[in-house]
């Protein structure tokens, strides 16, 4: 009698669960047992917390919602030693003046002129006969997406933003042939003049790739090699 009663109670409990899981909504998952264990909440990294569901909070309108990684942390870039070295934290620091000019607060800055020191830095991506075409093609792609709107298709400083009158003083790369690769990298990484920092848009490998492409805009021979694999000496007098 006791066993029969337990069976009836168990059957009734199962019936309640089955029936409560039924719904007329075809998109409904029905009754879910501990849904958080398999239905993880969506994380929205870039949310404007100044306006949530129609509610305005002016105090949060100008606050960045995206969190940045802790200082000096290094993402995993595989096991290729050259690739890892290329992506290690940048040794040069921005000047303390960048607090006011480029909004760099809460990070390590220097009173020294690391831009001038960067003149000795060489491009960490070495062009060869085999990789030159691929690297310059990638550089053009990045330049078109990130730089062309101001610097212009030919790097002459006459991009659409300049033509519209929104910006002025954008340099012509033909007049910057004496600028070292390291100084170009520094300028793109931290920003210079009216140009803001691009380090959140381009990683170090991409910046060095863009520097190669800029060189190709300065000289028609840049990135070209002889049949024996020797680089053609760039002639800066023959601009594109």
> Domain ranges in the chain?
81-218
Q: Does residue 35 register a pLDDT over 80?
A: no
pLDDT recorded at residue 61 = 77
Q: What is the average per-residue pLDDT within 97-101?
A: 92
Three-state SS at 35: helix
Q: Maximum CA pair distance of the chain?
A: 104
Q: Does residue 205 register a pLDDT over 90?
A: yes
Cα–Cα distance measured from residue 207 to residue 174, given in angstroms and rounded to the nearest whole number: 19
Position with higher pLDDT, 139 vs 166 = 139
Q: Which residue has the tokens 């840049």?
A: 222
pLDDT band at 168 (very low <50, low <70, confident <90, very high): confident
Q: What is the average per-residue pLDDT within 157-175?
A: 90
Between the two ends of the chain, the Cα-to-Cα distance in Å is 98
pLDDT recorded at residue 240 = 38
pLDDT band at 43 (very low <50, low <70, confident <90, very high): low
Q: Which CATH number fits domain 81-218: 1.20.1050.10, 1.10.760.10, 3.40.50.150, 3.20.20.80?
A: 1.10.760.10
pLDDT band at 112 (very low <50, low <70, confident <90, very high): very high
Q: What is the average per-residue pLDDT within 188-212?
A: 94
Mean pLDDT score of the chain: 83
pLDDT recorded at residue 143 = 97
Q: Is the dihedral of CA 149, 152, 153, 155 positive or negative?
A: negative
Q: Which residues contact 165 (CB under 8 A, 6 or more apart)?
A: none
**Residue/partner pairs of 94-100 with CB below 8 Å, 24 or more apart:** 94/190, 98/190, 98/191
Do residues 163 and 179 touch, judged by C-beta distance below 8 A? Answer: no
Q: Which residue has the tokens 């033909």?
A: 174
Q: Which residues contact 37 (CB under 8 A, 6 or more apart)?
A: none
Nearest CA to 21 out of 29, 13, 12 is that of 29
Cα–Cα distance measured from residue 138 to residue 126, given in angstroms and rounded to the nearest whole number: 14
pLDDT band at 237 (very low <50, low <70, confident <90, very high): very low
Residue 191: Cβ within 10 Å count:
19
Neighbouring-strand partners of residue 195:
192
Q: Is the dihedral of CA 196, 200, 203, 206 positive or negative?
A: negative
pLDDT band at 189 (very low <50, low <70, confident <90, very high): very high
- Least trusted range by pLDDT, from 40-54, 130-144, 175-189, 207-221: 40-54
Cα–Cα distance measured from residue 84 to residue 237, given in angstroms and rounded to the nearest whole number: 37
* DSSP-assigned letter for residue 53: T
**Percent of the chain at pLDDT above 70?**
75
């Amino acid at each position: 009698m006791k066993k029969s009663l337990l069976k009836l109670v168990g059957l009734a409990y199962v019936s309640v669960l089955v029936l409560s899981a039924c719904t007329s909504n075809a998109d409904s998952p029905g009754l879910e047992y501990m849904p958080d264990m398999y239905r993880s909440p969506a994380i929205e990294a870039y949310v404007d917390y100044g306006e949530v569901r129609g509610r305005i909070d002016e105090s949060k309108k100008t606050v960045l919602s995206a969190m940045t990684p802790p200082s000096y942390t290094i993402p995993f870039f595989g096991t290729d030693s050259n690739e890892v070295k290329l992506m290690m934290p940048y040794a040069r620091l921005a000047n303390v003046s960048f607090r006011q000019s480029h909004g760099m607060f809460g990070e390590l800055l220097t009173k020294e002129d690391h831009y001038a020191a960067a003149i000795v830095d060489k491009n960490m991506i070495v062009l060869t006969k085999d990789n030159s075409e691929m690297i310059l093609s990638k550089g053009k792609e990045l330049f078109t997406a990130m730089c062309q709107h101001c610097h212009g298709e030919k790097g002459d400083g006459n991009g659409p933003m300049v033509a519209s009158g929104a910006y002025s003083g954008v340099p012509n790369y033909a007049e910057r042939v004496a600028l070292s690769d390291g100084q170009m990298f520094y300028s793109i990484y931290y920003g210079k003049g009216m140009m803001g920092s691009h380090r959140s848009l381009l990683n170090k490998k991409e910046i060095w790739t863009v520097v190669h492409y800029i060189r190709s805009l300065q000289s028609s021979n840049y990135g070209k090699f002889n049949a024996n694999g020797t680089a053609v000496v760039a002639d800066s007098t023959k601009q594109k």
